[in-house]
A and B are shown apart, each in its own frame.
Chain A
């Protein structure tokens, strides 16, 4: 009950406070929600399904490039391009997922193959002139055109990413409580046993892949519109794959609040280090590495898992 109250309070704060915040704080909040959102998307497949993708940048990049190219060539609003990108990423995810799962790739093998898929797309984007090659693409962003996903102020972007993050959390919760959620958990805990119990592991994992890849692509479009520039290594590079995975792991994989909570802890650490150690590039990611090691060593189930185990009576089944 307390958790639910706290959650409701947090949502009220996230909706009500930002108009009062200075610009820098708002930017940090946008970054927090952005990585929290990516974490939530990754979490559906990685956390609930136990399929550790190291290549979610593939979907992110497809989303960013699809909406941006549709905008540049045909003037299509990124709001629509976003959906197109999601669809394309979903199709790619289903193809990659089908190939990997069909041939029984599990554990580290699945991580490696997803990494390879993302890297392949990055190499293609680097070498393909029509998509801007390594120079990347500039997204027209002057003035204010809400219908074209362009805002003059930061605040509207904030509400967009807040809606996306809460939406992803809502989808996660809905999956968690559905038949699919139980099937996913069964596959994660023991795939062979799940199959024996009548769970169709292949379609369960593919369903999670479809949702996860679709949502991740929407994040790509948000990135393109917010930063008004994309290039192959920014969008298809390993940093995005890791950027989504980290908050989910640190916050608690396989929990609704985990990824957002993880990002609320990780992102400010990184922003603070960057501000304090100006000109010393890398210190923030270095600290990320340290936090990752410490969290896995001492809170193997993430922050949410730790909070739960503290509430559970000692010795009792948590």
Chain B
């Protein structure tokens, strides 16, 4: 029983790192645009397909594919924001949310049309690599994914703290009107934020392709997970999302170890509802939820 517990903790933490990166991208977008991006998972799915095809057709290693997908999906994010969402900034909040839902439906089903619904898996030479720590099995690709995700997340956090663009993003998410008044090009920064958020999720997607299936609806579960993480970490709280990822990963993995069937999801959703109801500002937030 203790073995099962420790194994679950390790698996949970490893997947949690990836959740954290996916969610911090979502959180960044929420912080700046004040909308929940329903297309986040669809962008991740598309990035996973890109990494997949780069490997299958050109033999590019999934980790190397990040050099292609990160800029590519940054650009896609900027385009989605500037072309579809920005012109509707004045519209009601829910209309903007529905726009992202429209993008999600479009992208997900585009993938279904192009590549059908089959589950595809990518076999790289190190897909099965693993080692033991005591009784606990650690799969190398999962370890790399979690480590890479945390590194990218922390790197981005540093970027947000130190660079001018990063500071503009933070200013915009804390005080939109003030940011505009001090001369920040808010429309451009919103585009950049959406781009960075999309690049985050593209990197996360590439990191998991060595051990995770690719399918048109693969992003959906990550999207819902990211909602949970973002709410847990506090909407718009970047580091909170990284930390929240580990909590959700742990909850899911412990639920899977000790509950039958797919009831593990109930643990995650239960956590979600409880946090939404009692602490909508997130576990680490101080700002009052709206």
Contact = CB atoms under 8 A, between A and B. Distances in A.
Interface of A: 50, 52, 99-100, 103-109, 111-113, 115-117, 119-120, 123-124, 126-127, 133, 238, 242, 245, 249, 277, 280-286, 288-293, 296-297, 300
Contacts of B121: none
Interface string B77-92: 0000000100110011
A292 B35 contact: no
B264 to A, nearest CB: 9
Contacts of B273: 99, 113, 116-117, 120
A123 B266 contact: yes
A228 to B, nearest CB: 24
Nearest to A288: B105
A281 B112 contact: yes
A99 B228 CA distance: 18
B104 interface: yes
A108 B36 contact: yes
Interface in B60-107: 84, 87-88, 91-95, 97-99, 101-107
A119 B276 contact: no
Given A103-B276, A105-B276, A116-B273, 8 more contacts: A50-B94, A113-B276, A115-B224, A120-B273, A281-B113, A282-B109, A282-B111, A289-B101
Interface of B: 35-36, 84, 87-88, 91-95, 97-99, 101-113, 116-117, 216, 220, 224, 227-228, 231, 260-263, 265-266, 269-270, 272-273, 276-278, 280, 289-290
A97 to B, nearest CB: 12
Contact of B104 (A109, A281, A289): A289
A306 to B, nearest CB: 14
A109 B230 CA distance: 11
User: Which DSSP category, helix, strand, loop or mixed, fits chain A's interface?
Assistant: helix
A283 B269 CA distance: 31
Given A116-B269, A300-B95, A289 B109 contact: yes
Contacts of A238: 220
Given A52-B94, A296-B98, A103 B278 contact: yes
Contact of A127 (B263, B269, B277): B263
Contact of B103 (A133, A293, A300): A293
A293 B99 contact: yes
Contacts of B270: 120
Nearest to A102: B277
Contacts of B112: 281-282, 285-286
19 contacts: A50-B94, A99-B277, A109-B280, A109-B289, A111-B97, A115-B227, A116-B272, A116-B273, A116-B276, A123-B266, A133-B261, A242-B101, A281-B116, A281-B117, A282-B117, A282-B216, A286-B109, A289-B104, A289-B105
Contacts of B97: 52, 108, 111
A111 B36 contact: yes
A205 to B, nearest CB: 15
A285 B261 contact: no
A183 to B, nearest CB: 20
Nearest to B289: A109
A306 B266 CA distance: 42
A291 B102 CA distance: 8
B106 A112 contact: no
A113 B116 CA distance: 31
Given A123-B265, A126-B262, A281-B117, A113 B277 contact: yes
B102 A296 contact: yes
A103 to B, nearest CB: 5
A22 B115 CA distance: 35
A292 to B, nearest CB: 4
Nearest to A238: B220
B112 to A, nearest CB: 3
